[in-house]
Chains A and B, each alone.
Chain A
C-alpha cells in the first residue's frame, strides 16, 4: 500500500475542493438548528449530527461522479476515489488525529488493514475537520494518513480563490534531538508560533 502524501493528495485532487466545501456546508446546516437543539447537544451529539450532514452533502455532491464511490461498510461511511484512496470522515484535532474513541472497524481502517468491500490497494485516509473551540464554525479541514496510532502525514486543505490548495502540516522531529516540531513552529521559527 502506497502511503506517499503526494500520491494520495493527487488521487484526491478531483474531489478535494468539493469535499472541503461539504464540511463547511454541513456545519452551516448544523448551525441552522433551533437554539434549543444546539444547547441540548453534547460534543458527541454535535459531532454525530455534523457527520450525518456531511454524509448527505457528499452524496449530493458525488453520487453521480465517475471514479468516486460512496460506501457504507459495516457502519463506516467511506468514499473511494479511483480505487487509490479511501476516506473516512471524522472530527480531528490539529494534528489530524481522530478525537473520538475508535471502534474496531475504525482501528482496522487506521491500520490500513484489509476490510471486506474495500479495494485492497487503496490507502486509507481520514478526511477530517477541526471545529473552533465553541463549535460555531469549521476551523480547518485536514487530510491525514495513519498507520495504527501513528500519523504518517497530515495535510491542511484550504479553499483559495475557488481552488483547493493543500499544504503539509505533519509535525517533524528535530534532527538529532527527537524533539517534535509542530507545523506552526516550523513555519514561524518560534515555539509559540509568533514571528
Chain B
C-alpha cells in the first residue's frame, strides 16, 4: 500500500477510541509522551515507521489506519441527544466511535447498492409553513405508515435509506446522534446502552433533525422541534388521545407496550396535548420518580435491531467473497476485532477500550 503522510487526526481518533491519555499511550507503546504530543499537534509530520508500528500495536489498529486521508467530523456538525453531565473523555470516545463508524459505513456502502423508494427528504418548516407535529403526520403519510403505533421504527428509517448503527458509547449520558455526509445516506448512531423505549424516541428525534435541520440554528429551537416531531411521529395526537384519558401510572403503564414509548413520554404527551393540568403533570412526575421509574421503567421494551449494516457486511462476505482478513483490511481494523464487532453480532464495538 502506497503510504502518504501520517494523519495525526487518526492517531488522536484511535487514542480516544481506546480511552487512553497521551501518558497511557506512551506507557503502552514505549514512545515518549513528548513525541506523541508533537505528532498529534503536527509538529512532527512524519514519524518513523518503528514509532508508527509501536503506536499501532498499542492502539490495536493496523498501520494503514494512520495514513488515511480522512478528516474527522466534529460534534458541532451533528445533531445529538446528550445529557449535560457527559464528560470530555467519554465525549471524545464517542466522537472517535462515530468517526470510525462513519469510515466503515462509507467503505461498505461503496459496493452495496439498494433502491430506496421514498428516501428521507430535507425540508424547511418555515417555507412549508408546517409545525414539527404537522410535518410528522405528513411523513407518516409519505411513508404510508398505518394508523396507531409504529411497530418497528428502525425498519421505517432503514427502508427510507437511513443507516442505523448501534454502538456502545461507553456511557448512558448520550443517547444518539445523526448526520449527513456527502455520498452517504443519513447516518444514525444510537447508543446500545439505552432501553428500547428511549432508543425509539431518540431515533425519531434524530429523524426530525435529518428532516428539518440542514443549517445551524438555535440549539434549543432545534431540540424542541426534534422532540415535537418525535412525539407526534410516534404518538399522533388524534390516535393517542383515547389512551391517555384519566392518565395515571397504571393507565400509562398498560399503554406503554402498545405504543412502544416510555411512560415518561406518555406523561409528557398527555400534558402537551392539554389532557392534564400543570398540577397533575407535576404530581404524576413526582409519583413517577418516587416509584424509581427514572432509573428503569416497568414493561421494558426490546431494543430494535437495525439490519442495513449487517446486510452490507453479509453482502461483502457472501456475494463479493471477502474473507474476514480482507474485510479487516478494507475497514482498517484488527481482524479479531472485526469478527467480534461484525460477524458475531453486527454493531460498532470498534471503540471498545478493553
When the two chains form their complex, are residues A136 and B298 in contact, meaning their CB atoms are under 8 A apart?
Answer: yes
Q: How far is the CA of A137 from the CA of B299 in the complex (A)?
A: 10
Interface set, chain A 14-70, CB cutoff 8 A to B: 35-36, 38-43, 46
B297 lies within 8 A of A134 (CB):
yes
- CB contacts (< 8 Å) of B257 on chain A: these are 35, 38-39
Taken together as a complex, chains A and B put the C-alpha atoms of A137 and B298 apart, in Å, by: 9
Q: A133-B249, A133-B291 are in contact. Are A39 and B299 (CB under 8 A)?
A: no
User: Does chain B have a CB within 8 A of A82?
Assistant: no
Instruction: List chain B residues, Cβ under 8 A from A41.
Output: 254
Number of interface residues of B (CB under 8 A): 23
- Residues of B218-266 contacting chain A, CB below 8 A: 242-243, 245-246, 248-259, 263
Q: Does B116 contact A (CB under 8 A)?
A: no
Query: Which residues of the partner chain A approach B291 to less than 8 Å between Cβ atoms?
Result: 132-134
Q: Which of B294-353 contact A (CB under 8 A)?
A: 297-299
Contact of B287 with A by CB under 8 A: yes
Asked whether A134 lies within 8 Å of B246 as measured between CB atoms, the reply is no
A36 to B148, CA, bound (A): 10
A131 within 8 A of B: yes
Bound complex: CA A133 to CA B250 (Å): 5
The number of chain A residues touching the other chain, given as a range, is 10 to 19
* A-B contact list, 15 entries, CB within 8 Å: A35-B257, A36-B258, A39-B243, A39-B257, A42-B245, A42-B246, A132-B298, A133-B249, A133-B293, A134-B249, A134-B250, A134-B252, A135-B250, A135-B253, A136-B253
A137 to B254, CA, bound (A): 11
Provide the bound-state CA to CA distance between A131 and B253, in Å: 12
CA distance in complex: A137, B250 (Å): 11
Q: Are A133 and B287 in contact (CB under 8 A)?
A: yes
Query: A38 vs B251: C-alpha distance in the bound complex, in angstroms?
Result: 9
Residues 61-97 of chain B: 1 if any A CB is under 8 Å from the residue's CB, otherwise 0?
0000000000000000000000000000000000000
Q: Do A134 and B253 have beta carbons less than 8 Å apart?
A: yes
8 closest cross-chain pairs (CB), A and B = A134-B253, A39-B258, A136-B298, A35-B258, A135-B250, A35-B257, A133-B249, A134-B298
Of the candidates B246, B249, B255, which one forms a contact with A39 in the assembled complex, judged by CB atoms under 8 Å apart? B255
User: Cβ of B298 and Cβ of A43 under 8 Å apart?
Assistant: no
Q: Which residues on A sit within 8 Å (CB–CB) of B251?
A: 42-43
Residues of chain A within 8 A (CB-CB) of B253 are 133-136
| Residues of chain B contacted by A133 (CB below 8 angstroms) | 249-250, 253, 287, 291, 293
In the complex, which residues of chain A have a beta carbon less than 8 angstroms from the beta carbon of B263?
134
> Closest A-chain residue to B149, C-beta based?
A35
